[in-house]
């Protein structure tokens, strides 16, 4: 592959394995990416064939996945955190700043219902890219408490998150400081797109779960 083709392939690989988008949505994204980068030498046919191939590869791999997958257990852990009044968001934007904006939106929705969260955690798309990697996959989680300046309270939020993760059989690396994210080493993101499945990016579900 050329350098430009490798760039597009990496994007295809990540979008397919994250499992949040349909085949058509991925194709639309990739064609737009090719056009935006002016990769005129890359054809739509080449990109679409590669997308279909990567989807087929993932479907075959999924037949060998051990259940529950790391992804299944993370979803369960995040649901449990929401029930503990901690906002827990999947794939919250592309960067940490994006993630905090998503958390803030959820917090505003909660406060309209006279509820305040006791903390939050999330991972964003850049974090997820590490988790879909075939080499040394892992997942970092950001955490804190909205409008909090008390370090002890923030660390207490981190400890609650770590406890729930450990109860869901995850190994954790964290030095119990605010300067470090919580790390789940050897975390393999394994998810197939399912149009009838749960849409993890619908954060209204998070609000509903927290208000129950």
Q: SS3 of 36, please?
A: helix
132, pLDDT greater than 90? yes
Residue 138 bridge partners (DSSP):
185
C-alpha–C-alpha distance, residues 188 and 171, integer Å: 13
Residues 6+ apart with CB under 8 A from 11: 29, 30, 33
Residue 211 structure tokens = 């208000």
pLDDT digits (tens, 9 = 90+) for 8-50: 999 999 999 999 999 999 999 999 999 999 999 999 999 999 9
Return the pLDDT at 202. Answer: 96
* pLDDT of 1: 87
Task: Give the count of beta carbons closer than 10 Å to the beta carbon of residue 151.
Answer: 10
- Taking only the tens place, the pLDDT of each residue in 72-118 is 999 999 999 999 999 999 999 999 999 999 999 999 999 999 999 99
Per-residue pLDDT tens over the stretch 141-183: 999 999 999 999 999 999 999 999 999 999 999 999 999 999 9
Question: How far apart are the C-alpha atoms of 82 and 206, rounded to whole Å?
Answer: 7
Q: What angle do CA 152, 92, 24 make, to 5 degrees?
A: 165
Model pLDDT, residue 2: 94
120 beta partners: 87, 144
Average pLDDT over residues 47-76: 97
State the DSSP string of 117-180. -S-EEE--HHHHHHHH-SSS-EEEEEEE-TT---HHHHHHHHHHHHHHHHHTT---B--SSTTS
pTM across the whole model = 0.95
How far apart CA 48 and CA 128 sit, in angstroms, is 23
Question: How many CB atoms lie under 10 A from the CB of residue 150?
Answer: 9
Residue indicated by tokens 């997958």? 69
Token pair for residue 22?
Answer: 């349909």
> Across the beta sheet with 87-89, what order do the strands follow?
87-89, 120-122, 138-144, 182-185
């Amino acid at each position: 592959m050329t350098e430009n083709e490798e760039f597009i392939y990496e994007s295809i690989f990540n979008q397919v394995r994250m499992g949040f988008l349909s085949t058509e949505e991925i194709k639309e994204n990739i064609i737009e990416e090719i056009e935006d980068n002016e990769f005129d030498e890359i054809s739509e046919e080449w990109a679409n064939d590669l997308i279909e191939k990567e989807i087929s590869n993932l479907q075959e791999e999924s037949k060998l996945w051990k259940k529950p997958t790391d992804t299944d257990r993370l979803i369960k852990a995040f649901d449990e955190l929401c029930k503990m009044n901690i906002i827990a968001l999947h794939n919250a934007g592309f960067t940490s700043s994006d993630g905090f904006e998503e958390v803030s939106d959820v917090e505003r929705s909660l406060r309209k219902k006279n509820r305040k969260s006791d903390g939050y955690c999330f991972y964003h798309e850049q974090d997820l890219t590490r988790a879909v990697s075939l080499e040394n996959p892992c997942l970092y989680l950001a955490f804190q408490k909205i409008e909090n300046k008390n370090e002890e309270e923030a660390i207490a939020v981190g400890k609650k998150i770590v406890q729930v993760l450990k109860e869901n059989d995850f190994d954790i690396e964290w030095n119990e400081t605010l300067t470090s994210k919580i790390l789940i080493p050897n975390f393999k993101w394994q998810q197939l797109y399912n149009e009838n499945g749960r849409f993890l990016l619908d954060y209204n579900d998070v609000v509903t779960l927290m208000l129950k």
